[in-house]
A and B are shown apart, each in its own frame.
Chain A
Amino acid sequence: MRGFIVIRQVGVFLGVLVLWAVGDALSLFNRDIIPSPLAVLEAAGVLFGRPELWPTLWFTLRDSLVGVAIAAALGIPVGLLIGIFPKVELSTRIVLDFGRAFPAIALVPVFVLVFGTSHTSKIMLIAIACFFPVVIQTIYGARRLEPTILDTVNSFRIPALMRYRRVVLPAALPYIATGVKLSLSISILVAVGAEILMQVPGIGAQINLARTYNEVPVAIVLTLYAGIMGVALSQLWDWVEGRMLAWHHREGGL
């Protein structure tokens, strides 16, 4: 039964490919937007032979990961603080709402003038975009403590610091993990967007180049690579989370 599902899932991918090929053969698509599948396959081969492919992928991956790391390092403590103290939550609510509604990518022109077109600018944009999901998820996590656990902690008069490290943080970890997972996919999106707008080395900049050389199939292949990178990162994170939070899943949640 399980195998049957996988066959159908692969079938959907193949079906889309067939539709694409048939549509192309009937010239339903504008080839400047959707080139033929064969041209894309050929472009994948050409791109594979180019020495700049690996550095390109690496720059996008590295800057995304650095941005997420900064966002997590700042966002988790901030989120815990906000989640633990209701007064802090009330005070930061408007600033936080503004921050999460703000599209980080809109900062590009200002950043280009102030910080120049550099990896630093790109990483800062990624960190800003990823900061808010981490904070929001951490706040949820810090609040999800069961009343019985809180009562136990209170009646045993567990000291504040130990309480945060040993009780609140572990309880919030599954939510923090979700926040990081969200950030990982956001980071790739922002990285590619920033690379396109600022021409900083990475997948986005190569897409721009491919576009100027009129190599649309190459641009499509690079776009697909960015998608694969996003899926791979979130799968990898699921695996890491499964190992790190094995205790959580075993107990069926706190």
Chain B
Amino acid sequence: MSAKLLARGLWMWWLPVGLVTFWWFASLGTNSFFFPPLNRIVSVTIRDLSSGLLLNHLRVSLINMLAGLAISGVIGVGLGLIIGGSRALREATGPFLNFVRAIPPAAIVPIIIVAMGVGPQPKVFLIVFACVWPILLNTIDGVRGMNPQMLEMAQAFRIPFGLRNRRILFMGALPQIMAGMRIALAVSLVLMVISEFVGASAGLGFYIREKKEAFAMAEAWGGTLLTGLLGYLMSALFLRFERWALHWHFQTPEPGKAAS
């Protein structure tokens, strides 16, 4: 068993480790301005991290992202349960929501930054503007995909609106809501970076841009790679959280379908 596990681990890790090793040694001692040696990228990143400078930028970015995600979650799920719970509302709002979702949030970044300044509010606003749609549409889909018997049951027992939304619709749509949150997580990272490129005085995007303007290539590469690492870690963490929050869902094989 453990030999099997070891083989699996080897298969999983040979490529990423090989790629990084290759990059490390192939770039060793290069004089290229655009592609500085990986060991220099890593050492300047560690230098800026341990001095607290980069850590502070990271903290600012993370707070904006989490605040934006939390607000979008509340708005998206709340509206989604109301819209999804009523067939008439769902059908009437469908085309409108699909259109609004297609609007590229990046397009309003310059307008918002100029109007609202370089502080955290415009960033949180932009993240909410972009992240609400995937959560909202997935919540609506989740409620729609529920077993209609459950809704009829709630109606027959005259379960109050608020209780119905919280205990039946929310739990029933939770797998889809989680899927929406996962998309929103990736979207929030994109908006965080763009808004910090356009106008900011702190944040990961600001760091990359500042270093690029100073032609500090190793630092710019380091910040960019760190952004990717942040995205990777956040989505890995969220996957863990999702599995934990939905363990009941994975345990019971499709409760809705088994009943009907």
Q: Do A and B bind each other?
A: yes
B94 — which chain A residues lie within 8 A by C-beta?
9
| Chain A residues positioned under 8 Å from B47 (CB to CB) | none
Contacts of B217 in A (CB 8 A): 110, 113
B214-246 Cβ-contact flags toward A at 8 Å (1 or 0): 010100110010011101101110000000000
Contact with A along B187-225 (1 / 0, CB 8 A): 001100110011000000100110110010100110010
Contact B102 A231 (CB under 8 A): yes
The residue in chain B whose Cβ has the minimal distance to the Cβ of A99 is B228
Interface size class of B (residues with CB under 8 A): 35 or more
Residue in A87, A97, A98, A226 whose CB lies within 8 Å of B104 = A226
Residues of A within 8 A of B100 (CB): 227
CB of A105 within 8 A of CB of B34, answer: no
Q: How many whole Å from A78's CB to the nearest CB in chain B?
A: 13
Count residues on chain A whose CB falls below 8 Å from chain B CBs: 56
Q: A13-B96, A101-B231, A109-B209 are in contact. Are A219 and B111 (CB under 8 A)?
A: yes
Chain A 171-203 interface mask (CB, 8 Å, partner B; 1/0) = 000000000000001001100110011000001
Asked if B8 is at the interface of the complex by the 8 Å CB criterion, the answer is yes
> Are B215 and A113 within 8 A (Cβ)?
yes
Contacts of B14 in A (CB 8 A): 91
A110-B228 in contact (CB<8A) = no
Using Cβ atoms and an 8 Å threshold, which residues of chain A touch B96?
9, 12-13, 16
Asked if B220 and A196 make an inter-chain contact with CB atoms under 8 angstroms apart, the answer reads no
The stretch of B50-58, B85-93, B170-178, B248-256 that contacts the partner chain: B85-93
Evaluate contact between A103 and B92: CB separation under 8 angstroms: no
Is the CB of B13 closer than 8 A to any CB of chain A? yes
| B194/A193 in contact, CB under 8 A | yes
> Complex: how many Å from CA A114 to CA B221?
11
Q: Does A127 reach chain B (CB closer than 8 Å)?
A: no
Is B212 in contact with A204, judged by CB distance below 8 angstroms? no
Quick check: is B159 within 8 A (CB to CB) of the other chain? Answer: no
B212 touches A103 (CB 8 A): no
B93: which A residues are within 8 A, CB to CB?
9, 12
Closest residue of chain A to B114, judged by CB? Answer: A211
Interchain pairs with CB closer than 8 A, number = 165
A92 part of interface (Cβ distance < 8 Å): yes
Known: A11-B92, A106-B193, A106-B227. A227 touches B99 (CB 8 A): yes
Q: With A91-B14, A103-B186, A193-B194 in contact, do A227 and B104 touch (Cβ < 8 Å)?
A: yes
Select which of B34, B92, B116 is within 8 A of A113 by beta carbon.
B34
CB of B108 closer than 8 Å to a CB of A? yes
**B residues near A197, Cβ cutoff 8 Å:** 194, 197-198
Query: Which chain B residues border A234 with CB–CB below 8 Å?
Result: 102
Minimum distance in angstroms from B112 CB to a CB of chain A:
7
A58 within 8 A of B: no
User: How distant is the Cα of A13 from the Cα of B96 in the complex, in angstroms?
Assistant: 6
Contact A106 B228 (CB under 8 A): yes
For residue B29, CB closer than 8 A to chain A, the reply is: no
A126 at the interface (CB under 8 A from B): no
Check if B63 is an interface residue, CB within 8 A of chain A. Answer: no
Q: Is B109 an interface residue (CB 8 A)?
A: yes
Known: A33-B115, A91-B15, A94-B12. A110 touches B212 (CB 8 A): yes
- Quick one: closest A residue to B113, CB to CB? A211
- 20 residue pairs bridging A and B, Cβ less than 8 Å apart: A8-B92, A9-B92, A32-B111, A93-B12, A94-B12, A95-B16, A102-B231, A103-B186, A103-B228, A105-B193, A106-B208, A108-B197, A109-B209, A109-B211, A110-B221, A189-B106, A197-B198, A226-B104, A227-B103, A230-B104
Q: A9-B92, A106-B193 are in contact. List 12 more A-B contacts (CB 8 A).
A: A95-B15, A95-B16, A95-B19, A102-B231, A109-B212, A110-B221, A188-B102, A192-B106, A193-B109, A196-B194, A227-B99, A230-B102
| 10 smallest beta-carbon distances between A and B, as pairs | A193-B106, A227-B103, A230-B102, A109-B212, A101-B231, A8-B92, A102-B228, A32-B115, A223-B107, A90-B11
